[in-house]
Structure 1
Amino acid sequence: MSRPEQTEKGDSEFVENLVHINRVAKVVKGGRRFAFAALVIVGDQKGRVGFGHGKAREVPEAIRKATEDAKKKLIRVPLREGRTLHHDVKGHYGAGKVMLRPAPAGTGVIAGGPMRAVFDSLGVQDVVTKSIGTSNPYNMIRATFEGLKSMQSPRQIAAKRGKKVSDVVGRRSVDTVKEAVDG
């Protein structure tokens, strides 16, 4: 009983979302043996997110294994103003294709099923997504992560090119931002 309390204290920074549980039956001489597979999303709601897969004979054990796996696979995603993505991006994994687009403030998370869990754990408040192809949660999440891994902030691009952020973004958008702030 003391073990769950320790994990809650140590992992209070992370939000866990259970996306999918799959029950698998193995037929043996005495009947059926059931096993469970869990898919979990873990994030800190500040730009870090990961997903994990765990299998066990009991559901809580499968969830625990998936959560540990997710914490090992955390990635950092740059967010604009801490609430949305920097640019449009497409992700592709197997038959799963996803489109991720930034949205203006107040839009909310417009995403279906497994992708919603990813963005809730990531801390994104405004995003529009579309899943094309499969509705398999494993492939949808992997495609979403492929898209998020390719996300780059203007600061990263400027550092890579050896320029200032204003040179990468362009004067027009900088002037537009100044007008919006002033007016």
Structure 2
Amino acid sequence: MLQAPPVSGPQPAPTRPSNNPGANRRGGFGGGRSGGGRGRSGGPRRERPRPDYEHKVLDIARVTRVTKGGKRFSFRATVIVGDEKGQVGLGTAQGTDLAVAVQKATLQGRKNYVRIAMQGDTIPHEIFYKFKSAQVLLKPAEPGHGIKAGGPVRVIAQLSGLRDMTGKLISRTTNKINIAKATIAALSSFRHQPKATVAGKKVELKKEQKSKSEKIN
């Protein structure tokens, strides 16, 4: 039976076990993938400030433009923007990407803000408005009635801050942009009247009535 020849030359010294438990790990206490100072900090995340407006996409359409080089496709977005405190606006914009079109329409809607004269959570009185092919009828409602409307009228009422209102579409048009423009124009036609002026007028009327009654007597 053949035996292996003895290995000549210096042999490595035997390793001794270390008393430090972290030395046997890969990279020690601070090394490795899961250790050290390269990890993420465990502090609380910073919350982003919420915007002071709400928006809702009303309509999205694909637009085609024919040029000399061929057809170019883009998106058109219509967005309703409101702060739920009496301001609402309509924005329409185009973009090669849908997200870009929505962002541009939102910025345009904020620029087109319209102030609405509200009486509590409803509108001051009934109003009928016509814009091109869209005809809208809006009526005030008692507290707790809610918004009884559909389509763009409901979206505009909610984002403007109204809580009690009845809306009805008289015409048969399905153009959401015209309906939205008619609704915003109708709501913006109400005029703001400060309470002090109204109270002053009431006092003046009472004084005039008293003076007339004294003259008659």
Structure 1-normalised TM-score?
0.76
| Superposition CA RMSD, Å | 2.6
C-alpha contact (below 8 Å) 1:78/1:85 kept by paired residues: yes
Question: What does residue 148 of structure 2 align with?
Answer: 110
Identity %: 34
Shift of 1:25: 2.9
Aligned 8 A contact 1:42 1:121 in 2: yes
How far the C-alpha of 1:121 sits from its partner, in A, is 0.5
More strand by share: 1
Query: CA shift at 1:80, angstroms?
Result: 1.4
- Partner residue in 1 for 2:104: 65
How far apart are the structure 1 equivalents of 2:200 and 2:70? 65
Alignment-mate amino acid for residue 163 of structure 2: Q
Distance 1:127 1:33, change over 3 A: same
Tell me the amino acid that sits aligned with residue 33 of structure 1: R
| 3-state DSSP of counterpart to 2:170 | strand
AA matched with 1:41? I
> How many correspondences in the alignment?
157
How far the C-alpha of 1:57 sits from its partner, in A, is: 1.1
Structure 2: gaps of 5 or more residues: 1-47, 207-217
TM-score, length-scaled by structure 2? 0.65
CA contact (8 A) 2:123 2:139 kept: yes
The residue aligned with 1:4 is: none
The structure showing larger relative contact order (alpha-carbon pairs under 8 Å, at least 6 residues apart) is 1
**Which runs of no fewer than 5 residues in structure 1 stay unpaired?**
1-7, 172-183
Alpha-carbon shift at residue 33 of structure 1 (Å): 3.4
Aligned mates of 1:96, 1:124 — CA distance in 2 = 21
Q: Which residue is equivalent to 1:56?
A: 95
- Larger % of helix: which? 1
Q: Which has the larger radius of gyration?
A: 2
Q: Deviations over 1:107-145 (max 9, x none)?
A: 211111111110111011111001122221110011111
- Whether contact under 8 Å (2:117, 2:188) holds in the other structure is no
Letter in 1 for 2:136: V
Does structure 2 conserve the Cα–Cα contact (< 8 Å) formed by 1:97 and 1:140? Answer: yes
Q: Which residue of 2 aligns with 1:175?
A: none
The more displaced of 52-61 and 31-40 is: 31-40
Report if the CA contact (8 A) 1:86-1:152 is conserved.
no
Distance 2:200 2:91 in 1: 35
Measure the CA separation in 2 of the matches of 1:165 and 1:99: 32
